[in-house]
Structure 1
Amino acid sequence: MLKLVTTLLLSCAVCQGARAPVIGGVYGASNNGGLPVKIPAKEKILKQEVCNTEVCQEAAASLADAMDITADPCEDFYQFACGGWMAKNTIPEGKSKWGRFYELRDKVDQDLHEIVEMEEPGAATAVANLRLMYQGCMDTDAIEAAGLSMLSGAMENGQGGGWPTLLQDDFEQGSLNLGLLLGGARRSLGADYLLSMWVYMDDLDTSKNIIYIDQPDLGLPLAMYSDEESYATYIKAYKQYMVDVATILGAEYGSSATEEQIVADVEQVFNFEKMVASVMTPDSERRNSTAMYNPMTLAEIKECLISG
């Protein structure tokens, strides 16, 4: 790949001169005052080691297929390097964008789909558990039979406190345990409210795993909360979605909440999300991985929370 890029850049460098071919020479000089460009002699090029394995041939064919050699690299280098791939590919149905990395991601997803659907005796524990989870998600009959039982806590004043929007006057403020509520949402729903946390390899020491703590995921992209006028249509639909969910669950569990109460609560929820968004760091300021890496012990985190 490095040799290919070097060759392409060299072709542009030569083009900046007289654009005249250099035959059998060692140097090609521009006639517009540019610096001479050293070009390996033909004999030296022939002596270079060339990978000719099946894998290398496949990679080379893929690169060549993605190029448009009819384009002038000095005029449109992107077309020269990627024009072939663009001509052969369109954005798939249901996708907003497409590219080589998305293509690879799609291929990985397809391979994973084959793995979870195959029946392989003696599979590793992790693979066996993955297949069990997949089978549970695909068992629509069992899902329908369970109904909304997993959401029954919405109308219960247990340790989670229930859902105030549906409980209204029956909600007991003292019953709310925020820690249990957030922990339960993370464990059962994979939702990151107020904080996002996950376990992954240490960026600077991949021999160990660490707990990462970061800002949360919100219901809408961060930019929408700071520019409500431009995204008014999306925000309206988002609020209506919350109202619809609360209305359906309210009817299912016999809530006494009125439409006006639900709408008022949804507005409070959105305003709270907007407040959280105002103290979050936008993606444009999160590109420095070194600045994002701030290891702390549990004691240090507690001290930060106490000192505020």
Structure 2
Amino acid sequence: SMETNKRNYFGISQGLIKFHPKQQYCLTAECIEAAAAVLSKINQSVDPCDNFYRFACDGWIYNNPIPEDMSNYGVYPWLRHNVDLKLKALLEKPISKRQDSEAVQKAKILYASCMNENKIEKADVKPLLSILRHSPFRWPVLESNIGPEGLWSERRFSLVQTLATLRGQYSNSVFIRLYVAADDKVSNRYILKLDQASLSLSSREDYLENTTEAKSYRDTFLQFMVDTAVLLGANASRAESDMKSVLKLEVKIAEIMIPYENRTSEVMYNKMNISELSAMIPQFDWLGYIKKVIDTKLYPELKDIGPSENVIVRVPQYFKDLFRILENERKKSPHFCLNSFRGVFPCGQQESLVSGTFISSKQFYCLLQIHSPLSLV
């Protein structure tokens, strides 16, 4: 039978690997370490024909429990953590003008300034309030505290400008994730890709499930938003009302996000030019957004991007639903509860709300500020 053949195949394969008399083995320290790493991740007591997932992953799951400050965990977060440890060691070395390039020197200065908690505490919320007085980031909930120069105006508000400024200047993707990567079907060419952006909580399920845990995440997140607004000078009752609207908006967006299991390579490969994208989703100025995000002073060769530029739209249906939701929100509320505050919150604490706690390490937050923009280079 097919089942018997599969078992025989695994048995014969394992036998050849273990007992082939002419097999040449690599016994260097690196090979032994790699072999030990593989063995530590598998469960040899499980028959791979019965449960290949447990055979391949049990060891890793057992040895790597989900950290207390995270709602999910996997090989990629584990790898990111290990890279961060090495990056931290490099950034904490003294600046050497002779050996360090200008980019490395700037990265070390940025990391050191981020870690300077005394200076940050002394500055308090003044730098953030200064940003929130800028037109793209004016926050209606702060109108009673921020002064006439910071008043929000629906007439002056530009969704394109706000999202582009968040992405271009603060490396923060709100609603839309724009990035450059290899074309999935022409791997030697790079192309612009558009995808759904992540929300404030760790997963889509945290917004949609009615479990005690998911509800506690939402409650904690709501309280964090209210507390932050009040800290910046908002009226408490106004802050609670507005932040409830923001949370409702994020729940609506979570409902339309494409779940992980449906994000297959074929489904997400939708290649078209910007003109075609604009015809498909006319509610948003796609070309204007892309041109505002790209730093043409730094990359002058990109200043001529036009309607004929090809892009890969990974989630067309999400974008159609997104702008329908945003249009309805704009009609319902004169202040349009945009969650753009996520791009300028101090310390990015909203990014790691789990069990009512904030980011576990100041160092890893500062590392995030370094490698997030650097990954775009």
TM tier relative to shorter chain:
0.5 to 0.7
Amino acid at match of 1:304: M
Q: Deviations over 1:96-136 (max 9, x none)?
A: 57776655443322222222222453234443333232222
What is the percentage of aligned positions where both structures have the same residue? Answer: 27
Task: Supply the distance in 2 between the matched residues of 1:173 and 1:129 (Cα, whole angstroms).
Answer: 38
1:47 partnered with 2:22? yes
Shift in Å, 1:79: 8.2
Out of 25, 28, 31, the position equivalent to 1:56 is 31
**CA contact under 8 A between 1:155 and 1:167: conserved in structure 2?**
no
C-alpha RMSD over aligned residues: 4.0
1:198 partnered with 2:156? no
Higher gyration radius (CA): 1
Shift in Å, 1:243: 1.0
Task: Supply the distance in 1 between the matched residues of 2:125 and 2:31 (Cα, whole angstroms).
Answer: 54
1:216 partnered with 2:192? no
Equivalence for 1:253: none
**CA contact under 8 A between 1:11 and 1:73: conserved in structure 2?**
no
Out of 260, 263, 274, the position equivalent to 1:298 is 274
Equivalence for 1:108: 83
Equivalence for 1:246: 229
Q: Deviations over 1:132-162 (max 9, x none)?
A: 3222222223323433233225663x53261
Task: Supply the distance in 2 between the matched residues of 1:291 and 1:171 (Cα, whole angstroms).
Answer: 40
Shift in Å, 1:67: 6.8
SS of residue in 2 equivalent to 1:111: helix
**CA contact under 8 A between 2:42 and 2:55: conserved in structure 1?**
yes
Structure 2 unaligned segments of length 5 or more: list them. Answer: 1-5, 284-319, 321-377
Equivalence for 1:34: none
Matched positions, count: 267
Amino acid at match of 2:232: L
**CA contact under 8 A between 1:161 and 1:173: conserved in structure 2?**
no
**CA contact under 8 A between 1:153 and 1:160: conserved in structure 2?**
no
Amino acid at match of 2:206: M
Equivalence for 2:317: none
Given the superposition, is the C-alpha separation of residues 154 and 45 from structure 1 closer, same or farther in structure 2, using an over 3 Å criterion? closer
**CA contact under 8 A between 1:161 and 1:176: conserved in structure 2?**
no
Amino acid at match of 1:238: F
Shift in Å, 1:82: 7.3
1:165 partnered with 2:141? yes
Amino acid at match of 2:227: D
**CA contact under 8 A between 2:176 and 2:195: conserved in structure 1?**
yes
Given the superposition, is the C-alpha separation of residues 150 and 184 from structure 1 closer, same or farther in structure 2, using an over 3 Å criterion? farther
Given the superposition, is the C-alpha separation of residues 39 and 202 from structure 1 closer, same or farther in structure 2, using an over 3 Å criterion? closer
**CA contact under 8 A between 1:193 and 1:217: conserved in structure 2?**
yes
Amino acid at match of 1:202: D
SS of residue in 2 equivalent to 1:210: strand
**1:1-308 equivalence runs, <5 A:** 13=11, 45-63=20-38, 71=45, 89=63, 91=65, 94=68, 103-119=78-94, 120=96, 121-153=98-130, 156=133, 158-160=134-136, 162-167=138-143, 171-220=152-201, 221-228=203-210, 231-250=214-233, 258-286=235-263, 288-306=264-282
SS of residue in 1 equivalent to 2:232: helix
SS of residue in 2 equivalent to 1:49: coil
Shift in Å, 1:247: 0.7
Structure 1 unaligned segments of length 5 or more: list them. Answer: 1-7, 15-36, 251-256
Task: Supply the distance in 1 between the matched residues of 2:176 and 2:60 (Cα, whole angstroms).
Answer: 41
Task: Supply the distance in 1 between the matched residues of 2:68 and 2:14 (Cα, whole angstroms).
Answer: 49
Task: Supply the distance in 1 between the matched residues of 2:274 and 2:114 (Cα, whole angstroms).
Answer: 36
Q: Which has the higher relative contact order, 1 or 2, with Cα contacts under 8 A spaced 6 or more apart?
A: 2
Task: Supply the distance in 2 between the matched residues of 1:246 and 1:126 (Cα, whole angstroms).
Answer: 35
